[in-house]
Amino acid sequence: MRIINGLIYRPDCEFKSGTLEINGDVISGVSDFVYNFDDDEVIDAQGMFIIPGLTDIHFHGCMGFDLCDGDVNALKTIASYQARNGVTSICPATMTLAPDRIIKILKCAREFRKLNLNGCAELVGINLEGPFISPAKCGAQDPKFAIKPDIDLFAEFYEASGKLIKICCIAPELDGAIDFIKHLRKNFNNVRVSLAHTCADYDTALKAFKAGLNHITHLYNAMNPITHRSPGPILAAADFNDLNQAVMAELICDGVHVHAAAIRNAFRLFNDNIIMISDSLRATGMPDGEYELGGQIFIKQGHKACLKKSPETLAGSVSNLMDCVRFAVKNNIIKLEQAVKCAAVNSAKAINIYDKFGSIEPGKTANLVVLNKKLEIAKVFVRGKIL
């Protein structure tokens, strides 16, 4: 199969016209030349953008289902919806729950991973968002299940998941957190250790980054803000990155969680070290109403989802990752090239799947999205097949 006349997103993160060839489930060639072929295996993408399938490394669910349902059929529905919306690789997040329930959820994800279903986004990892977080900054997480970092418990989680855990969230001010961070970086080097749901000040956060913390969960949210006398963890990360560019920051670009000016400021602080996420909930793709998240009820109304018992607390997002890309580009916050880098390239690199996903190059899996000029999805390819 060949796709001709489209603007192909290249590994240098620029669009250039050309011809893209697919052989089976992989990309077999990318050429700068535009050929005209007269056969049934040619798709004309004149005036359209061809981008890698997106990777969402932090979301909870959609279409009425959640990773924490611990159900294979729920995961099938989630993965199908994500694929249809151009998110072809998924790394969903757990909630802060009792350890035995988390283990059940992780085992379910491991079993789903083995199915390798057609028409579904590929489950490439798990984001362990709880339970090693601060009960004072839980947001929509349930504080009664928040616990101190536990090396042995993490190892149990990791094995239960079939080694699928790619991100482990932690509040670095908790007792034992620094030793926990050092242990994970030494013994689980493929797992990103992320600052999350934390009361950490600048000095504590900087100490954690020096210990090996290399990720930030939904930047700005569930952490101390930037002020001129208490700069907090965000500026600690920015200062640390001035030396080595080691810290990646997740950013929810749904138009609700982070103001457009704050999104622009995040790019000033972190340059290209931004990973766009959705943090989407089970209400994504569903009508307004009441839904459940980690044992708590939230209300979806339009583009917002807030806890029922605490209406000022955002529960998460009800936008998928492609929606977030559109919001950032259509509101002139960043260009499409940069948005794709943050939603496809950086995310794949962060969780060590860039050898197969995240760019359009020969030998990589043919997970592709064709967008028209309005950034509407024209076609989605998953492992070389059109959905």
The backbone region for 54, taken as left when phi is positive above 0, alpha when psi lies in -120 to 50, beta otherwise, is: beta
What is the DSSP code (8-state) at residue 344? I
- Kindly provide the residue ranges of all beta strands, DSSP E only, lying in 183-230, ordered along the sequence: 192-195, 215-216
Q: Which two tokens stand for residue 272?
A: 């290209």
Instruction: List C-alpha distances in Å: 126 to 95, 188, 293.
Output: 11, 14, 17
Residue with tokens 């295996």: 41
Tell me the C-alpha distance between 322 and 164, whole Å.
24
Q: Please give the C-alpha separations between residue 347 and each of 22, 127, 292, 319, in angstroms, as whole numbers.
A: 23, 12, 27, 17
User: Inter-axis angle of helices 99-115 and 151-160, to 10 degrees?
Assistant: 30
Question: Whole-angstrom Cα distance, residue 194 to residue 169?
Answer: 5
Q: Which one-letter amino acid corresponds to residue 312? A: E
Q: At 86, which amino acid appears? A: G
| C-alpha to C-alpha distance for 23 and 39, rounded to whole angstroms | 15
Residue 56 near residue 317 (C-beta atoms within 8 A):
no
How far apart, in whole angstroms, are the C-alpha atoms of residue 67 and residue 106? 9
Strands (E), 164-288: 165-170, 192-195, 215-216, 248-252, 274-277
Residue of 279, 288, 323, 355 with catalytic role: 279
**Strand, coil or helix: what is 41?**
coil
- What is the Cα–Cα distance from 306 to 152, expressed in whole angstroms? 34
Q: Quick check: 315 and 307 in contact, CB under 8 A?
A: yes
Question: Residue 279 catalytic?
Answer: yes
Which residues participate in catalysis according to the annotation? 279
